[in-house]
Amino acid sequence: MVSGVAAASSGRTAVLSDLRINEQVAGDVVVFGADLELGPEARVEGDAVVIGGDIRVAEGAVVTRHVVAVLGGAEVPVDADIGGRVLCFSSPATLLSASSAREPSLHADFSMRLLAAGGWLLVTTGLAFLFPIRMRYGAWAVPSLGIKIPALGMMAGLTVFASLIASLGLGPVLGVPLVGGLMVIFFVARAVGLTVLGCWIGAMVLKRWVRHPLPISLEVFVGVLVLLAVRFLPMVGETMWTLISLVALGASIAVLGVSTDLMRAEPSSANQ
Amino acid sequence: MIRGEAPVATDCQTIQEILTENGGGLERLDGAESQHLEVCPDCREVAAAERALGLLFARAIPPADRVVEERVLAALRPARIRRRIVAFLPVAASLLVALVGAVMVGGVPGSGILGLLPEFSTQGWMAFATSVSDWGAAVATGARAAANTLDPAFLAGAGLVSIFGLVGVAVTALRWRRVSLWRDDR
């Protein structure tokens, strides 16, 4: 039983539509932005790959090569017949916990979260320290642009998703470096957007207690702390973080909108 | 807006922003806004204050005495340095959090403090490096599988969506470039 929006002769593909397979497939199975379920009668003669979704493998299912879940989870029972490896990454920030999935460690999980939180704080406060006017402008623009920011973030997210598919479709030689470049651009845009959102939130939080002007880096620090606290909420944290990331993409474009005249004032602007 | 006044095409906040941006000058106000200014004491007060501030700046700049200017700037230097240090503190605090996380994950690579750390730390970076390598393997597997299975027409469609999306984002960024809070054409 197969449901998908695209199919090729040698394998199965689905985009934004769940795929359930319970039969023999002579080739790879690839799903983008949805879940893949391999039933007990499934026999995939190739790789089973899900990008942006979960993969569930039933007992008795056979995959002759790798089972890969990127930006999603993988449920693979012990008695499933997997010829290659099971590679599962819910996000780059969970690399360590993914590697130690068989022996979950509270210490390792906490350490990785602390490292990820510190990394985001360092990048965002550093951006605020180096480009205070651009970031301040972005934070000022957030309330005036309102719903346009998440809307544009959705559009940018869709563009990244389409680019990811197009890049992967070019094969490993071109696809891997292109995906790497895409991830770098996505990370930079998200960092800039998080700085802007952090500044906006931090300013709102801090002005309740402090009346005089504060350094933008402090506002960003407090604001990003709030966002990270949301991220590490149990159950809903990762979903919220995905939404925050999309909004951050939109906010980063707000920063791109700063006029060049304003940018010329940046070097002399100290840090306020 | 003044109480009891008939609704006008614009409001005090907009007019006061224009007045602030133009140093109290009235030349940027259109007919309705000028009319509003005649009947609104608050806006007239803002215009007068901005003009007074402009006069103050006109007198103060450029400074008549270079020595005084240099003394003032020298007196301000410690404050500017202090302000930069205060602005850097959150960056330093972030670095500290990241370092604590790094040490707990597996120690700072290449340092001699690994031996002093608890048992969980020694394998952290090794596992992390393995995972990064696995990430590359996962992307390569995804690329190979996608190239084998995806319809070329579908791939071309994804490429087109990417290009249109990029153009849309670029156009929006350029469009928003004019949405400055202190732009002249408001």
The pLDDT of residue A255 is 77
Interface-testing mutation among B148, B171, B179, B185, with chain A (most A C-beta atoms within 10 A): B148
> In this structure, is residue B46 part of a structural domain?
yes
Residue A143 CB contacts under 8 Å (≥ 6 apart), including other chains? A200
Asked if residue B75 and residue B111 are part of one domain, the reply reads yes
Asked if residue B88 and residue B29 are part of one domain, the reply reads no
Split into its structural domains, chain B has a count of 2
Confidence bin at A192 (pLDDT 50/70/90): very high
A 39-68 → B contacts, CB under 8 A = 46-47, 49, 51, 65-66, 68
Asked if residue B50 and residue B84 are part of one domain, the reply reads no
Domain span holding position B40: 12-60
H/E element holding A234? Answer: none
Asked if residue B145 and residue B86 are part of one domain, the reply reads yes
Asked if residue B127 and residue B72 are part of one domain, the reply reads yes
Residues of B in contact with A87 (CB under 8 A): 134-135, 137-138, 141
What predicted TM-score, i.e. pTM, was given to this entire model?
A: 0.70
The pLDDT of residue A108 is 64
> In this structure, is residue B39 part of a structural domain?
yes
> In this structure, is residue B184 part of a structural domain?
no
Q: Are A266 and A134 in contact (CB under 8 A)?
A: yes
> In this structure, is residue B56 part of a structural domain?
yes
Exposure of B152 in the CB half-sphere (CA atoms within 13 A): 0
Q: pLDDT tens-digit profile of A227-271? A: 999 988 887 887 888 899 999 998 888 777 655 454 444 444 434
Asked if residue B73 and residue B56 are part of one domain, the reply reads no
Asked if residue B118 and residue B88 are part of one domain, the reply reads yes
Token pair, residue A238, equals: 């990762």
Asked if residue B143 and residue B75 are part of one domain, the reply reads yes
Better pLDDT: A232 or A224? A224
> In this structure, is residue B41 part of a structural domain?
yes
Which sequence spans correspond to the domains of chain A? 6-90, 107-268
Asked if residue B50 and residue B77 are part of one domain, the reply reads no
> In this structure, is residue B128 part of a structural domain?
yes
Distance from CA of A79 to the nearest CA of B (A): 22
Mean pLDDT (10-residue bins), chain B, 186 residues: 46 78 79 83 85 79 73 84 89 90 64 47 62 77 83 87 89 67 43
Closest CB from B95, B142, B165 relative to A168: B142
> In this structure, is residue B177 part of a structural domain?
no
The pLDDT of residue A112 is 76
Residues of A in contact with B181 (CB under 8 A): 137, 140-141, 144
Asked if residue B76 and residue B145 are part of one domain, the reply reads yes
The pLDDT of residue B106 is 63
CA A175 to CA A43: how far, in whole Å? 27
Q: pLDDT tens-digit profile of A29-78? A: 988 888 999 988 888 888 898 888 888 898 888 898 888 888 777 888 88
Query: Residue A210 carries which side chain, given as an amino acid letter?
Result: V
Asked if residue B140 and residue B103 are part of one domain, the reply reads yes
The pLDDT of residue A191 is 93
The pLDDT of residue A126 is 94
> In this structure, is residue B165 part of a structural domain?
no
A122–B91 C-beta distance less than 8 A: yes
Asked if residue B85 and residue B46 are part of one domain, the reply reads no
Residue B146 CB contacts under 8 Å (≥ 6 apart), including other chains? A13, A30, A49, A165, A168, A169, A175
Answer yes or no: is pLDDT of A15 > 60.
yes
